Amino acid sequence: MKITATLTVHHKRHSYSLEKQKDGTVRVVCKSANINQDFLAEDVSDLLLDLPQLIVAEQKYKEGQGG
């Protein structure tokens, strides 16, 4: 089962998805934070709490790289 949701950071909506894998991990995809990988299920809640800061950090990194 795949869950897709959005969160708002700096007045802009960012989407992310969670999908349980056969091995029990959870695939987390958030293009705004440059995340596309599997995490242990027990770590996903902490990741979601940190996601707004990760999105801001990725935006700052991209700005520093010229785009």
| Per-residue pLDDT reduced to its tens digit, 2-11 | 999 999 999 9
pLDDT score at 45? 97
CA of 29: how far to CAs of 13, 47, 66, in Å? 15, 11, 24
pTM of the model: 0.90
Per-residue pLDDT tens for 14-58? 999 999 999 999 999 999 999 999 999 999 999 999 999 999 999
Give strand pairing partners of 13.
8
